[in-house]
Amino acid sequence: MTHDNPRSIALELLIKTEKLGQYSNIALDKALEGSSLSSPDKRLASVLFYGVTEKKITLDYRIAELSDRPIESIDIQTLSALRLGLYQLMFTDKIPPHAAINETVSLCSRKSSGFVNAILRSHTRKPPMALPSKESNPLEYLSVTYSICTELCDKFLGIYGFEKTEAIFKAFGAPPPTTLRVNTLVTSREELTRHIDGAVKTQFSPVGLSVRGAVRDIYGFDEGMFFVQDEASQICVSALDAKQGMTVMDICACPGSKSFGAGIDMKNEGKLYCFDLHSKKLPLIESGAKRLGISIISTQEQDGKLPLKEFFGCADRVLCDVPCSGFGVLAKKPELRYKSPEASKELPKVSLAILENASNYLKPGGVLVYSTCTLFPEENQNNVLAFLDKHPEFELAPFTVGSLECKQGYITLLPDEYPTDGFFIAKLKRKNT
């Protein structure tokens, strides 16, 4: 891979992820780490790679309008170059069209350069892309407009209806903010805000900041003054209400941000047990805790569905951030736009099994928080209500975080209504009797 050209890096990554199905963030981080690009060029490579990944269906629809060749017959290298060039022409306003075309064509082989050049120049001469009809074909309209596969569009339509689905999809298209959770063991939100240009306090979380720029370059990173955590996740930890001296269990803990938040809320006093199915991920928690100065965390490999009987009835707080389909975070994970919900149909059973098992760890009067980053009821409130039907010893507990009041004990944070990831939180209390 050429390491001094942002478009070249973006194109190589697009081809690689198309062939191998890699996660976009992992592939990009690895590529940029090994490059000699300047910071502005790294930003350009990121914008192009993520942008094309996010807009793939829209771009392919335009290619099909402009090309005599069926899109299925275009090889991956050529198709990726076409997407890269068209993305610059359709969705960026700071790249001149001649630069977008010439720079993209220069990356193509002799065999494909003429075809790519012709398609890109044709786009600049022809009328803008004609979208499918919203009235006669709402499914295809949503899919092409927001670049989300038809199976997923159909799923959202069945749950939320057309107007709400489109509002959610528009929110998925907005650039997600970088949100920090302040480490109040070492500083305050007010103090950190004074040192970070452009930092804005989060709307609901009392310990969050929205910021710009590369996280590692922000004031206080090396000193452990913050970690990255979406506001929805911060709200979830606040609902847990972990306190000094408590015993807390995080059942599906990796990569650890909720554990860190709980440890800070506990003022680094008490016991905080962090479990995860994947032992290879546990060092992420250990290294993060060390940077933040949290010493009460202990980690252990454990399947959340399987009981640890020695912990039954021991915990004051239990956090179940269960495995889910992830269909609330399309803004941050663009590859999920092309994932059929059918691939996640077994997850509600898995999540409910984890909830059932985790409930055994609570003391009477203890609190369990169940959360996901999806927007589908079968993984969210349906699981919680099914659990409560079987367990009269539990009840929903209202909670308040900042100005956010959840009187019924559970809430779906829809991204068109809240400045957060799409997220679900339920707070359950074990009765004293």
Residue 307 φ/ψ region, left for φ over 0, alpha for ψ in the -120 to 50 degree band, beta for the rest:
beta
Q: Give me the residues paired with residue 423 across strands.
A: 413
Residue 241 φ/ψ region, left for φ over 0, alpha for ψ in the -120 to 50 degree band, beta for the rest:
left
Which one is catalytic: 108, 153, 320, 373?
373
DSSP string, 123-156: HHHSPPP-PPPTTT-HHHHHHHHHT--HHHHHHH
User: Which residue from 36, 3, 15 is spatially nearest to 108, judged by alpha carbons?
Assistant: 15
Place of tokens 């107007």: 163
Residue pair 326/336 in contact by the 8 Å Cβ criterion: yes
User: Which residue from 312, 381, 322 is spatially nearest to 350, judged by alpha carbons?
Assistant: 322
Q: What angle do CA 325, 326, 329 make, to 5 degrees?
A: 160
The Cα–Cα gap between 304 and 319 comes to 11
Residue pair 420/373 in contact by the 8 Å Cβ criterion: no
The Cα–Cα gap between 248 and 318 comes to 6
At 346, which amino acid appears? E
At 11, which amino acid appears? L
The Cα–Cα gap between 46 and 25 comes to 9
The Cα–Cα gap between 119 and 106 comes to 14
Tokens of 323: 């495995």
Residue pair 399/355 in contact by the 8 Å Cβ criterion: no
236 is catalytic: no
User: Which residue from 296, 295, 324, 317 is spatially nearest to 427, judged by alpha carbons?
Assistant: 317
HEC profile of 239-295 = HHCCCCCCEEEECCCCCCHHHHHHHHHCCCCCEEEEEECCHHHHHHHHHHHHHHCCC
The Cα–Cα gap between 105 and 90 comes to 16
Within 10 A of 235 (CB to CB), how many other CB atoms are there? Answer: 26
Residue pair 123/62 in contact by the 8 Å Cβ criterion: yes
| Catalytic residue positions, numbered | 373
